[in-house]
Structure 1
Amino acid sequence: MSDTTTQHSGSQGVSRRRFIAGTGSILGAAALIRPGASAHAATATKPASIGDGAHVPVLVIGTGYGGAVTALRLAQAGVDVQMVEMGMAWDTPGSDGKIFCNTTSPDYRSYWLRTKTKQPLSNFFGIPIDRDIPRYTGILDAEDFSGITVYQGRGVGGGSLVNGGMAVTPKRENFAAILPSVNPDEMYNTYYPRANAGLGSGLIDPAWFDTVDCYQFARVGRKQAQRSGFPFQFVPDVYDWDYMKQESAGTVPKSAVAGEILYGNNYGKKSLQKTYLAQAKSTGRVTISPLHRVTSVSPAAGGRYTVVIEQLSTGGDVTATKSVTSDRVFFAAGSVGTSKLLVKLKATGALPHLNGEIGRGWGDNGNVMCGRANYMWDPTGKIQASIPCGGIDNWTAGGAFAEVAPLPTGIETYASFYLSITKNPNRGTFSWNPVAGRVDLDWQTAWKQASIDMAKTIFDKINATEGTIYRTDLFGAYKIWNDTLTYHPLGGAVLNKATDNYGRLQGHPGLYVVDGSLIPGNTSVNPFVTITALAERNIEKIIAVDLT
């Protein structure tokens, strides 16, 4: 969830000296307040797709951050690129005139091949509020492994479609722990600036922030953090802030101010569709085939690779199987997608020379969620923009950085909500399960306790200062922490271990990894700027050395 989306919950006030007792959520109150959306899927125009038997110079598997950077830079270097994307193109409106459904009204567009929603904030008064939906190739995948659910974007643009857009560059002093084999000078002098420019990162106007109603929730979060001695930091985002000012003023169709985020944003967000991918397609050298899933990559004659691809219907059925050849293949299916595919290919003998580091070093970026119940004199506002703009930094002292997250339910919640990123040291490993014919992940929910302890260094202190308590009704009865998910999957094909120091896969020339699977488990902040910057660094070297 790329990068990261965190919008949920609500409640009602009681007496002045009592805490808020109940809550809905951006995801939950919605189910109680609004009627179910139509389950009728719109018919999308089918784009031209890669043909069976085709030969392409470069095949990029996935259209997220790493893949988008790779396609653009290769195209600018004069190379023709074919991209395949498991999800939809997301370029055709539904029956409501919108491409994406609202976070408060999940419909058939919301989830990837589920028949019931799996909302990150899933309870109201401890009662589950997930709803039935038609099975459809929706935009958000809640992929279940033992001990954890991994949220991922599905569609052209990958995680950029569904995250909160927080474009955070890690502090330089933390970089050595993130990517120890990479020169920080080149990252901070060249590639982070290049990535932020390409992504369209920008800061909220502080003066506007201080007065506008849709960021009252964040001002409450800032005030409470500072009263407990924690620094509040404005965080860049890839939203069009001028558009949001117009949304708030009511002069343009509302998007973030209407709560759109978890299942896509119809107007103001600068997803990859509007940035890197738009530039890539404008070169005339990049073709994208949506609803195409790669199942095999294996060596072919002449140093090429044979790639087997399944074409999918919007119901998830395989409608065609294609075999193509490519001179070079770039794995950009995201940390989970790339890791699962490479583990399978190594174990089944399709790519036998991959080394033993494949599947290792996977982490959740230390993600945990919690909510706090505020007093009635600290209302957080009925109207809340769904784009986060600030966070609480206790990384050095407590190992935690926390987004001050919105709860755009349309009702007053008197609640503060947070997605924390923590310095959790635990790492999982993907492995092939030959009996089940699938890739498993050995993650344990108990490993999240380290993240909870780190997040508590912030929120225990705020609660003590404010005289407030944690919410216990949002993730199940009496459950304070959501410790069963991540929006920020990282690792599984770690740089300079599973690959060389520029993403070339060991043992198979012409195969590359360019996504978040290169990063070993943690970035100390939201990860997509680092994924983008690393891809910029690596593809520059690959073009200079391998393609000349």
Structure 2
Amino acid sequence: MNDDSPRGTGLRGVSRRRFITGTGSFLGSAALAGQLTPAHAATPAAAAVIEPGAHVPALVIGTGYGGSVAALRLAQAGVDVHMIEMGMAWDTPGSDGKIFANTTSPDHRSYWLRTRTKQPLSNFLGFPIDKDVPRYTGILDAEEMGGIIVYQGRGVGGGSLVNGGMAVTPKRENFAAVLPSVDAAQMYSVYYPRANAGLGVGTVDPTWFETADCYQYARVGRKHAQRSGFPFVFVPDVYDWDYMEQEAAGTVPKSALAGEILYGNNYGKKSLQKTYLARAKATGRVSISPLHKVTSVAPATGGRYTVVIDQLNTTGGTTATKTVTADRVFFAAGSVGTSKLLVRLKATGALPGLNSEVGKGWGDNGNVMCGRANHLWDPTGAVQSSIPCSGIDNWAAGGAFAEVAPLPTGIETFASFYLSITKNPHRAQFSYNAGTGNVDLNWQTAWKQPSIDMAKTIFDKINAKEGTIYRTDLFGTYKIWGDHLTYHPLGGAVLNKATDNYGRLHGHPGLYVIDGALIPGNTSVNPFVTITALAERNIEEIIAADL
């Protein structure tokens, strides 16, 4: 049973929910204190975008995991919320009848303000596969920052629109290294279960898995892992597994089995639009302005904040600039978006009270990718589910957890493909460049070498055992490792450093960080369940203590 109703003072009475699974098996009736104005009556979520001169009790910058949690729990506590989202709403089908483009056929919907695609796999069978596309506010941002490309979701729902949905709770023994100032017992007894339930996490039916053609690639990955002595684990996901089985049976339109993942999933994935955001909007207290970008937050009279927002068109141009006031502002623009905005606001004097920790502690979750060329007797299948369901766990011994990833090309490739998460120690810093007016990141590609070395503890051994080799045609010409990217940006406004232990920014009461910027660079697994659980913890305390 889902119980999202606040009880008593604050939200401390929210019931516990069943803990879905971990890696091993693979928010009161009053409003916030001070100047946070109570909502007097629930009204339907506004369809209109935010108006110049508006006053909002709570303004949330971003609609990803942290922002969606904050919006829902604030609304349930009786607070009107307005969410600002730089990307589109993604609720209108294109000329093909579908909202999202297919992974194998990227078009104008696929990339955020690029004129050429920037695919994670840039080559296939020796040929470059990127292509020209019209400039458009598409769903995937491939943001190039010095030595790394950071892939981020753009739209209402943030990263939940473009990830593979792998909903992994870190092993308890690894948690202290992730968030040392957070009570692990509380996280594992209350907030991880709450996050898993709110996200709709589930695991593939192992019996169906054994015979499903679309997971032949994962069964091959399992065989090779186990023959080399590595633990193979089923990994939870937010895909509707019943829908996927119907896809395989041919009774519903195909989505995961049509290779949809990188540029959105049209049917089966339980993105935030279907979970937290749907419930937030159903309260009647949450409004969302898509294609709006916050450019400034500064103190105003009476303890409020003045927020400047640009309204965008679908080619990225500014069509209007609006100034509004907010009682409280929640930064939830993702690790990169939140960090860059805070660094700029501190450096330009808009928020001078922010401390020196803002911009620090950024990491890539140790992401590195590779492929292996299997023998002809180990085909991985022409039809592959784009939703991964399994991984290889060598974290304790080698510092790597490898997702057995799909390669949904529609043809037999005899290839196994992996996204590894590693214990990479390197952390980068965002800094304001007064000459260009940009915020730069000092990440260096060479810092990926520890990740490669850790991933090799798995794949060198498998190759030796199986007599196989690495693929060299996926990331360039004769290049084995995808060491140029991350799907999992974390840090830049680290918990208990740039903020207090619940995300309150130092120096400016009423400003909060509630997204992946709080997590210092690594979660040991795919991070969005941890981001969600931490947001649940923090917003509950903020509502209770700041009432």
On whether the aligned pair clears a TM of 0.5, the verdict is yes
Residues 69-84 of structure 1: matches in 2 within 5 Å?
Answer: 69-84=69-84
- Residue 257 of structure 2: SS of its match in structure 1? coil
- The CA deviation string for residues 81-103 of structure 1, in whole angstroms up to 9 with x for no partner, is 00000000000000000000000
Q: Tell me whether 1:331 sits opposite 2:331 in the alignment.
A: yes
Partner of 2:102: 102
Partner of 1:184: 184
- The CA deviation string for residues 118-151 of structure 1, in whole angstroms up to 9 with x for no partner, is 0000113443221000000000000001100000
Residues 439-450 of structure 1: matches in 2 within 5 Å?
Answer: 439-450=439-450
Q: Tell me whether 1:490 sits opposite 2:493 in the alignment.
A: no
Aligned CA RMSD, in angstroms, stands at 0.7
Partner of 1:540: 540
Partner of 2:479: 479
Report how far residue 471 of structure 1 moved: 0.4
- Native 8 Å contact 2:85 2:292 kept in 1: yes
Q: Structure 2: how far apart are the matches of 1:477 and 1:166?
A: 30
Residues 236-385 of structure 1: matches in 2 within 5 Å?
Answer: 236-385=236-385
What one-letter code is carried by the residue in structure 1 that aligns with 2:261? I
Partner of 2:146: 146
- The CA deviation string for residues 295-316 of structure 1, in whole angstroms up to 9 with x for no partner, is 0000000000000000000010
- The CA deviation string for residues 382-441 of structure 1, in whole angstroms up to 9 with x for no partner, is 110000000000000000000000111111010000000000000000000000110000
Partner of 2:219: 219
- Residue 481 of structure 1: SS of its match in structure 2? coil
- Residue 167 of structure 1: SS of its match in structure 2? coil
What one-letter code is carried by the residue in structure 2 that aligns with 1:73? R
- The CA deviation string for residues 181-217 of structure 1, in whole angstroms up to 9 with x for no partner, is 0000000000000000000000000000000100000
Q: Structure 1: how far apart are the matches of 2:91 and 2:184?
A: 38
- Residue 210 of structure 1: SS of its match in structure 2? helix
Q: Structure 1: how far apart are the matches of 2:291 and 2:226?
A: 47
Partner of 2:40: none
CA, structure 1 residues 368+164, in 2 after alignment: closer, same or farther (shift >3 Å)? same
Q: Structure 1: how far apart are the matches of 2:470 and 2:370?
A: 7
TM-score (norm 2): 0.91
- Residue 293 of structure 1: SS of its match in structure 2? strand
Residues 53-72 of structure 1: matches in 2 within 5 Å?
Answer: 53-72=53-72
What one-letter code is carried by the residue in structure 2 that aligns with 1:414? F
Report how far residue 47 of structure 1 moved: 4.6
- The CA deviation string for residues 369-391 of structure 1, in whole angstroms up to 9 with x for no partner, is 00000000000001100000000
- Native 8 Å contact 1:126 1:475 kept in 2: no
- The CA deviation string for residues 337-372 of structure 1, in whole angstroms up to 9 with x for no partner, is 000000000000000000000000000000000000
- Native 8 Å contact 2:111 2:140 kept in 1: yes
What one-letter code is carried by the residue in structure 1 that aligns with 2:116? K
Q: Structure 2: how far apart are the matches of 1:129 and 1:220?
A: 26
Q: Structure 1: how far apart are the matches of 2:66 and 2:477?
A: 39
- The CA deviation string for residues 486-526 of structure 1, in whole angstroms up to 9 with x for no partner, is 00000000000000000000000000000000000000000
What one-letter code is carried by the residue in structure 2 that aligns with 1:231? P
Partner of 2:401: 401
Q: Structure 2: how far apart are the matches of 1:504 and 1:68?
A: 17
Partner of 2:515: 515
What one-letter code is carried by the residue in structure 2 that aligns with 1:103? T
What one-letter code is carried by the residue in structure 1 that aligns with 2:410? G
What one-letter code is carried by the residue in structure 1 that aligns with 2:55? H
Report how far residue 104 of structure 1 moved: 0.5
Provide the identity percentage: 83
Q: Structure 2: how far apart are the matches of 1:102 and 1:475?
A: 20
Q: Structure 2: how far apart are the matches of 1:357 and 1:118?
A: 32
Partner of 2:24: none
Q: Structure 1: how far apart are the matches of 2:53 and 2:208?
A: 55
Q: Structure 1: how far apart are the matches of 2:419 and 2:437?
A: 34
- Native 8 Å contact 2:47 2:287 kept in 1: no
The gaps in structure 1 that reach 5 residues or longer are 1-45
What one-letter code is carried by the residue in structure 2 that aligns with 1:178? V
Q: Structure 1: how far apart are the matches of 2:248 and 2:406?
A: 15
What one-letter code is carried by the residue in structure 1 that aligns with 2:447? W
What one-letter code is carried by the residue in structure 1 that aligns with 2:404? V
What one-letter code is carried by the residue in structure 1 that aligns with 2:352? P
Partner of 2:18: none
Q: Structure 2: how far apart are the matches of 1:473 and 1:245?
A: 32
Q: Structure 1: how far apart are the matches of 2:83 and 2:419?
A: 32
Partner of 1:113: 113
What one-letter code is carried by the residue in structure 2 that aligns with 1:453? D
- The CA deviation string for residues 507-546 of structure 1, in whole angstroms up to 9 with x for no partner, is 0000000000000000000000000000000000000011
- Native 8 Å contact 1:107 1:133 kept in 2: yes
Q: Structure 2: how far apart are the matches of 1:55 and 1:212?
A: 53
What one-letter code is carried by the residue in structure 2 that aligns with 1:253? P
What one-letter code is carried by the residue in structure 2 that aligns with 1:109? R
Residues 132-143 of structure 1: matches in 2 within 5 Å?
Answer: 132-143=132-143
Partner of 1:17: none
Q: Structure 2: how far apart are the matches of 1:419 and 1:512?
A: 32
What one-letter code is carried by the residue in structure 2 that aligns with 1:370? C
What one-letter code is carried by the residue in structure 2 that aligns with 1:512? Y
What one-letter code is carried by the residue in structure 1 that aligns with 2:520? P
Q: Structure 2: how far apart are the matches of 1:385 and 1:478?
A: 27
- The CA deviation string for residues 245-265 of structure 1, in whole angstroms up to 9 with x for no partner, is 000000000000110010000
Partner of 1:209: 209
- Native 8 Å contact 1:398 1:454 kept in 2: yes
Q: Structure 2: how far apart are the matches of 1:487 and 1:178?
A: 18
Partner of 1:172: 172
TM-score (norm 1): 0.91
- Native 8 Å contact 1:113 1:315 kept in 2: yes
What one-letter code is carried by the residue in structure 1 that aligns with 2:256? A
- Residue 482 of structure 1: SS of its match in structure 2? coil
Residues 495-510 of structure 1: matches in 2 within 5 Å?
Answer: 495-510=495-510
- Residue 211 of structure 2: SS of its match in structure 1? coil
Q: Structure 2: how far apart are the matches of 1:299 and 1:261?
A: 41
